[in-house]
Chain A
């Protein structure tokens, strides 16, 4: 056991802190700041993130030639941790960063790496992920949105749904049915689709409609395709090999260390402790037990993340066991949401009233989605029980 980072990694931390100190305005770090900016905040974040990338603090683990930093997994973890600690704004390109870029780095052609990674890191292209359809959620392989070959182009017809960031995205990486003859997993291909023209209007045949979430925000939407034409060269991986690409892609989400979630959720618990003191309930024995339970699960998440990070650094395959990471952080975050309402009582319904709990309210609501997207908790438990424990289907 040695939980210290090496000198080069600590040097990186120092450099990044210095950059953040100089480039992240103090007021941006205040609670509620981004909420108050509304839609304008998106453009501010997009620009700030691009500047950060140009200063060398993006794509930490990816090669310099594609716009990355050429760093180590440990530096990536440090980067994530410092971003949360400094209350830096959330990325505007999370699906591209989390899913598309690492996939392209592994199986993309050199040309794709060049064309995709740097514009993504610099937020010149914002990506969304088009997997789910009205009739294909957990059972993703039953998707029906068609892409038919016509000469050198695919012609797409059909619909995607729950598409996060659809209102801001200019491109989509999506799964489409390119053959109905093959078995259901085999006739799927991953394609890159332009959703918008350079002036921001929808590309021909594309229609995007926002969907209002239970939080009141509209961070996801529906995307409709009518005879949308995509060049055949926009395939990621192989034609008909989209399922394997999707599985690879999803493994990046699950395999990531959850240190950023730890840092963010731990701060939420601190905020809830503050709240308990404000409302005079910090000596309530039952609430203290609940607070401690959340701390226990979060600390375990941190230890688990350190163990995952060690395995990644040693180049080990995490495989299906990384579903455990998702279960641990998403379920724990829901418990923290419940902790908030238990501490606040009815006041959790009412923000203002001398008690600004809007951030905790939002986080509480959002936590209900975290056990659904990225593979629901039930699907994760199927994976753990079948692929890790070896229980029969």
Chain B
């Protein structure tokens, strides 16, 4: 019985935290918020994480990767959330998982080594615009997909169409129009992707459900990191901010709310690790664990980041303060790969309907 990170995983966590604090601190994130013309994808950062080998975490050794598990990737995602780190890191990991799980041997050999080496950016496109569909006909894809993270800088899109089949699409190829949007959370960019008879290269296997589960776990861990940072930063501020002649952190309403948030965040952290391990180890309750992790983390991150604004008072509502960086990321990720209610309904299907 050992429910904890291994020494290696803890060492990785410490290295990543230190690296991010040094190379991409919150001041850099704020600069990104202020850069109105930027693409939201700091080139230096991308190069550096590629050089660290962190994009190789889930790539099998035979494709020049590290061949580690989802739990190791979750350690990285957690650090990304703590630092509200921008860039197509998680999108690339998720889309690469689609290729790893569903690709032909040739597709894997072509793309996975490049992912591991930090040479390509990928993203997964699943969210079809309401009342339309993405169809595949004679090697060509047609349809409109919304909210595709970082499609404007990606080398390949992995597009879900026709009831969950997956296709590789070159976003710079014929018939593809990618339009980045003004995204509230500027640590990402959500794009509209229009496909008009765009060439699509099918993956071999229908890996989508598994990919979505793994994505949910990675985003849940990012959210747990966001929540933890929000709680810690609020505690630190309320220890020193004085009103009525004493630190506001002495007021019991604030203390008890933060205590509850600390408990809830700790639970989300456990759930994030557990779900990643459950998928790695093929535990029988893996699907339940995924939905527990994503719903818990979505709720906690929303509450913790809202409390962060509230318990900073006026300064917490300013553009200059960090609170909104956490708040907006929590909000965005809350809806990615299933919001809390969607995952709870899935839990109900498992527990009530016995699906």
A binding-site residues for B, Cβ under 8 Å? 1-6, 9, 74, 269, 273, 276-277, 282, 285, 288-289, 291-293, 295-297, 299-301, 303-304, 306-307, 309-311, 313, 324, 327-328, 378, 380-382, 384-386, 388-393
- Structural contact, B348 and A391, CB atoms closer than 8 A: no
Give complex CA distance A378, B253 in Å: 10
For window 1-40 of B, CB contacts with A under 8 Å fall at: 1-6
Q: Tell yes or no: B162 within 8 A of A by CB.
A: no
Interface size class for chain B? 35 or more
In the bound complex, what is the Cα–Cα distance between A303 and B273 (angstroms)? 9
- Which of B171-179, B205-213, B259-267, B313-321 forms contacts with chain A? B259-267
In the complex, A4 Cα to B277 Cα: how many Å? 12
Which residue from B238, B247, B267 sits with its C-beta under 8 Å from A328? B267
Complex contact A295–B347 (CB within 8 A): yes
28 A-B pairs whose Cβ atoms sit less than 8 Å apart in the complex: A1-B277, A3-B1, A3-B3, A9-B1, A276-B352, A288-B345, A288-B348, A289-B344, A291-B347, A291-B348, A292-B343, A292-B348, A293-B344, A297-B267, A300-B267, A303-B3, A303-B270, A313-B1, A381-B259, A382-B252, A382-B256, A384-B262, A385-B255, A385-B256, A389-B258, A390-B235, A391-B238, A392-B249
CA A296 – CA B2 in complex, angstroms?
Answer: 22
| Shortest CB distance B231–A (Å) | 8
Which of B239, B263, B280, B343 gathers the greatest number of chain A CB atoms within 10 Å? B263
Secondary structure at the A interface, as helix, strand, loop or mixed, is helix
| CA A276 to CA B352, docked complex, whole Å | 9
Please state if A327 and B263 are interface contacts (CB–CB under 8 Å): yes
A324 surroundings in chain B (CB, below 8 A):
262-263, 266
A2 touches B351 (CB 8 A): no
A288 to B266 alpha-carbon distance, docked (Å)? 25
Asked whether, in the complex, the Cβ of B3 is within 8 Å of the Cβ of A1, the reply is yes
Q: Within the complex, what minimum Cβ distance (angstroms) separates A288 from chain B?
A: 4
B166 at the interface (CB under 8 A from A): no
Stretch at the interface among B57-65, B142-150, B287-295: B287-295
A74 touches B296 (CB 8 A): no
Residues in B with CB closer than 8 Å to A313 are 1
Q: Can you name the residue of chain A whose Cβ is closest to the Cβ of B247?
A: A392
**Please, which residues of chain A bring their CB within 8 A of the CB of B266?**
304, 324
A9 to B231, alpha carbons, bound, how many Å?
A: 38
CA distance in complex: A307, B274 (Å) = 10
The answer for the CA separation of A318 and B347 in the assembled complex, in Å, is 32
Minimum CB–CB distance from B95 to chain A (whole Å) comes to: 26
Residues of A near B125 (CB, < 8 A) are none
B48 at the interface (CB under 8 A from A): no
Once bound together, how far apart are the Cα atoms of A310 and B6, in whole Å?
12
Main secondary structure of the interface of B (DSSP, over half): helix
A1 touches B273 (CB 8 A): yes
Q: How far is the CA of A277 from the CA of B348 in the complex (A)?
A: 13
Q: Are B344 and A299 touching (Cβ within 8 A)?
A: no
CA gap between A304 and B270 in the complex, in Å: 6
CA distance A288 to B343 in the complex (A): 11
Interfacial chain B residues near A328, Cβ < 8 Å: 263, 267
A3, A299, A310 — which one has the most chain B CB atoms within 10 A of its CB? A299
Q: In the complex, which residues of chain A have a beta carbon less than 8 angstroms from the beta carbon of B247? A: 391-392
B291 to chain A: which residues have CB within 8 Å?
A: 292
Extra inter-chain contacts (6) besides given A276-B352, A306-B1, A392-B249, CB under 8 Å: A9-B1, A327-B260, A380-B259, A382-B259, A385-B256, A389-B231
A391 touches B249 (CB 8 A): yes
Is B283 positioned at the interface, with any CB of A under 8 Å from its CB? Answer: yes
Q: How far is the CA of A240 from the CA of B259 in the complex (A)?
A: 32
CA of A310 to CA of B277, assembled, Å:
15
For the complex, give the distance between the alpha carbons of A382 and B267 in Å.
Answer: 19
Q: Which residues of B contact A306 (CB under 8 A)?
A: 1, 3, 270, 274
Residues of chain A within 8 A (CB-CB) of B71 are 1
Give A293 to B347 CA distance when docked, in angstroms. Answer: 9
Nearest opposing residue in chain A for B351, CB measure? A295
A112 to B69, CA, bound (A): 51
In angstroms, Cα B204 to Cα A51, docked, is 62
A382 to B246, CA, bound (A): 17
Q: How far is the CB of A3 from chain B (nearest CB, A)?
A: 6
B1 & A310 in contact (Cβ 8 Å cutoff):
yes
Q: Is the CB of B296 within 8 A of A300?
A: yes
Interface contact A74-B249, CB-CB below 8 Å: no
Give CA–CA (A285, B238) in the complex, Å: 40
> Is the C-beta of B271 less than 8 angstroms from some C-beta in chain A?
yes
In the bound assembly, the distance between CA atoms of A380 and B260 in angstroms comes to: 10
Query: Measured between C-beta atoms, what is the minimum distance from B314 to chain A in Å?
Result: 21
Closest 10 CB pairs of A and B: A292-B344, A385-B255, A288-B348, A300-B267, A306-B3, A303-B270, A292-B347, A384-B259, A381-B259, A1-B277
A316 to B152 CA separation, bound complex (whole angstroms): 49
Q: How far is the CA of A301 from the CA of B270 in the complex (A)?
A: 9
